[in-house]
């Protein structure tokens, strides 16, 4: 089991949560355990409509970087 990995996947184009508020809530410099990364998906809306594959690829790529 891997512990302490944090990836936050966020849509770049959402009307639900302003990107500035999202970035403030994702504390990438404070108490979040390493390794950590914000995966911002360009063009994606709040539900990643039409961008699910991009979101999945970003997550899989990050996991491959972290796991041996």
Assigned domain for 13 exists: yes
Whether 24 maps to a domain, the answer reads: yes
Q: What is the pLDDT of residue 49?
A: 92
Q: How far is CA 68 from CA 26, 28, 65, in A?
A: 26, 23, 8
For the chain, give the mean pLDDT: 80
Task: List, for residues 37-57, the tens digit of each pLDDT value.
Answer: 888 898 888 889 999 999 999
Place of tokens 């849509």: 11
Structural domains counted in the chain: 1
1 lies in some domain:
no
Dump the DSSP string for 12-43: SS-SSS-HHHHHHHS-TTTTSPSSEEEEEETT
- What do you get for the CA distance between the two ends of the chain, in Å? 12
Q: What domain range includes position 24?
A: 6-66
Q: Phi/psi at 8 (nearest 5 deg)?
A: -110, 120
């Amino acid at each position: 089991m891997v512990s302490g990995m944090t990836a936050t996947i966020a849509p770049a184009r959402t009307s639900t949560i302003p990107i500035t508020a999202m970035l403030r809530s994702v504390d990438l410099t404070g108490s979040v355990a390493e390794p950590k990364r914000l995966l911002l998906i360009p063009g994606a809306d709040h539900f990643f409509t039409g961008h699910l594959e991009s979101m999945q690829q970003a997550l899989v790529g990050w996991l491959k970087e972290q796991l041996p």
